[in-house]
Amino acid sequence: MAPREEVAYVTCTYRSTCIEQPDFLATVDLNPRSSTYGQVIHRLPVPNLKDELHCAGWGPACGCFDSGAAARRNRLVLPSLISSRIYVVDVGSQCREPRICKMIEPVDVFWKCNKGYLAVTHALPNGDILIANMGDAAGYGRGGFVVLDGDTFELKGNWEGDCEAPPSGYDFCFQPRHNVLLSSAGPVPRVALRRFCPDDFKKGIFGRRLNVWNLSCRRLTQCFDLGEDSLPLSVRSLHSPDAAEGYVGCALSGAIFRFYRACEATFIADLIISPDDRFLFVCNWLHGDIRQYELRRGCKPRLVGQVREGRAPAGGAGVRGGSILRGGPVTVCRDEELKGQPEPLVVKCKRVCGGPAALQLSLDGKRLYVTNSFYSAWDRQLYPSVLREGSVMLQIDVDTDKGGLCVNENFLVDFGKEPLGPCLAHDIRLLGGDAKSVPLP
């Protein structure tokens, strides 16, 4: 019942691009009736260099989708992956021209929490803001969370207190009615965030645990070992507040696990569940495809839709792009889904480089938005053309009846044409709410 989204906020960075400019939050027009549809209509630069804006999260919300009115989310929290600086952005006063209303310096995070390398953000049921961290102030692996006051956005300290901290962290989700929070595992930032190196396998650099917390006691209660170098990054619970299940995507092993058992077995960069809990969407950054699975309680998810950032060759079943495009750095020797390596995807005369890295879904489940920058240092190593040409934001149209995905040929936001030079766009948030917003309890 929520209205169609009209504005998106996209985190963009210049780090690793050799362009000495600050990161910024791009405002993108999503109204098809607008003369600026599919364009960046505002840029909010941050006042510092090389922050690496990566994830974005909404502050506390008021209102309820169930009542037919969209929840009002007036603050967007932008934690910096590299600098550990935190920006709070006011999107309520002027949604098309947001402004920074508060900034927390890294030294405060380091001294008060001994945390750093901040990632995913969500608002807790009590209104406070929880931010997952990947390491300590020195960049060694240490998971856990820092918490901000939901009213003042002041830094309160560590959420888990003196509890044992997991060896790494990145993403999390929670279900208040079941008093549970689940967190994923990231890489050790001191090593892995310099560059992606297969030589780091079997050295404990890449996380392997799914962590289960008691939400009210803030205590780690259980851990699942998902395999050496599995790197379980994205974790999502179903949107229904009564549901006690969800999915975690392992970036390096390519496996998707359903709590509590494996469901599907390749770098899975992101996954998202539709607001009605009917579909799971997964993006494979290296192979360049996006997959749609139908979810049924207690059953193995069924593949019902698939697109790729690449076009199939004549007669081919091509479902992938990314690093295995024709003429790319990888030669496919054997693939049951391909008869030949796919041609590059071209939208609005723009060749799309790289692979899908971050997803966002509209509240009605009909429009899936995707960007193709994962992390600047790894982009530079694996997809250098994305740094040269800038990343893009695409729209995938979703068949919500029978399943199916189709690239919208009329929508492309080209971040290669930014006034200060090509930049890297990652996380997407939709004004009024989106499928990654934690449901109100």
pLDDT tens digits, 270-307: 999 999 999 999 998 888 889 999 998 667 789 999 98
Determine the Cα–Cα distance for residues 300 and 110; give it in Å rounded to an integer.
43
CA separation, residue 205 to residues 195, 199, 208, 381 (Å): 12, 10, 10, 18
Among 211, 238, 260, identify where a domain stops. 260
Under the banding of pLDDT at 50, 70 and 90, the label for residue 222 is: confident
Q: How many CB atoms lie within 10 A of CB 221?
A: 12
Identify whether the C-beta of residue 164 lies closer than 8 Å to the C-beta of residue 228. no
User: Which distant-in-sequence residues (6+ apart) come within 8 Å of 401 by Cβ?
Assistant: none
Determine the Cα–Cα distance for residues 70 and 92; give it in Å rounded to an integer.
13
DSSP secondary structure letters along 217-242: TTEEEEEEE--TT--EEEEEE-SSTT
Is the domain of 73 the same as that of 146?
Answer: yes
Buried b (16+ CB within 10 A) or exposed e, 141-151: bbbbbbbbebe
Question: By C-alpha distance, which of 26, 23, 21 is closest to 80?
Answer: 23
Identify whether the C-beta of residue 272 lies closer than 8 Å to the C-beta of residue 236. yes
Q: Read off the pTM.
A: 0.80
Identify whether the C-beta of residue 391 lies closer than 8 Å to the C-beta of residue 415. yes
Is the domain of 87 the same as that of 236?
Answer: yes
Determine the Cα–Cα distance for residues 439 and 151; give it in Å rounded to an integer.
19
How many domains does the chain divide into? 2
Among 204, 227, 260, identify where a domain stops. 260
Determine the Cα–Cα distance for residues 375 and 425; give it in Å rounded to an integer.
9
Under the banding of pLDDT at 50, 70 and 90, the label for residue 63 is: very low
Question: By C-alpha distance, which of 269, 214, 291, 280 is closest to 247?
Answer: 280
- Provide the pLDDT for residue 150: 92
Is the domain of 135 the same as that of 181?
Answer: yes
97 domain-assigned: yes
Question: By C-alpha distance, which of 143, 248, 252 is closest to 197?
Answer: 252
Is the domain of 275 the same as that of 255?
Answer: no
Is the domain of 256 the same as that of 294?
Answer: no
- Provide the pLDDT for residue 268: 84
Identify whether the C-beta of residue 112 lies closer than 8 Å to the C-beta of residue 144. no
Determine the Cα–Cα distance for residues 55 and 429; give it in Å rounded to an integer.
10
Is the domain of 133 the same as that of 16?
Answer: yes
- Provide the pLDDT for residue 135: 93
304 domain-assigned: yes
Region of 299 on the Ramachandran plot (φ > 0 left; ψ -120 to 50 alpha; else beta): beta
Under the banding of pLDDT at 50, 70 and 90, the label for residue 45 is: very high
DSSP lists the bridge partners of residue 432 as: none
Among 194, 225, 260, identify where a domain stops. 260
Positive or negative: CA dihedral 277, 278, 283, 287: positive
Span 348-378, pLDDT tens digits: 989 888 899 999 999 999 999 999 999 999 9
383 domain-assigned: yes
Look up tokens 């006690």; give the residue: 244
Is the domain of 253 the same as that of 348?
Answer: no
Residue 428 pLDDT greater than 80, yes or no: yes
- Provide the pLDDT for residue 28: 97
420 domain-assigned: no
Q: Which is more confidently placed, 67 or 302?
A: 302
Is the domain of 209 the same as that of 339?
Answer: no
Cis peptide before 369 (omega within 30 of 0): no
Which domain range does residue 395 map to? 268-414
- Provide the pLDDT for residue 343: 75
419 domain-assigned: no
Mean pLDDT of 86-107: 96
Is the domain of 160 the same as that of 143?
Answer: yes
Residue type, 277: D
Under the banding of pLDDT at 50, 70 and 90, the label for residue 229 is: confident
Determine the Cα–Cα distance for residues 120 and 142; give it in Å rounded to an integer.
15
Q: What angle do CA 147, 152, 158 make, to 5 degrees?
A: 15
421 domain-assigned: no
Is the domain of 286 the same as that of 404?
Answer: yes
Q: Which is more confidently placed, 345 or 86?
A: 86
User: Which distant-in-sequence residues (6+ apart) come within 8 Å of 167 by Cβ?
Assistant: 141, 142, 143, 185, 204, 207, 209
Identify whether the C-beta of residue 5 lies closer than 8 Å to the C-beta of residue 434. yes
1 domain-assigned: no
Is the domain of 86 the same as that of 228?
Answer: yes
424 domain-assigned: no
Give the CA-trace dihedral at 431, 178, 275, 406, to 10 degrees: 110
Is the domain of 238 the same as that of 376?
Answer: no
Q: What is the CATH number of the domain that holds 54?
A: 2.130.10.10
Q: Given strand 289-294, what is the order of strands in its sheet? A: 268-273, 279-284, 289-294, 302-308
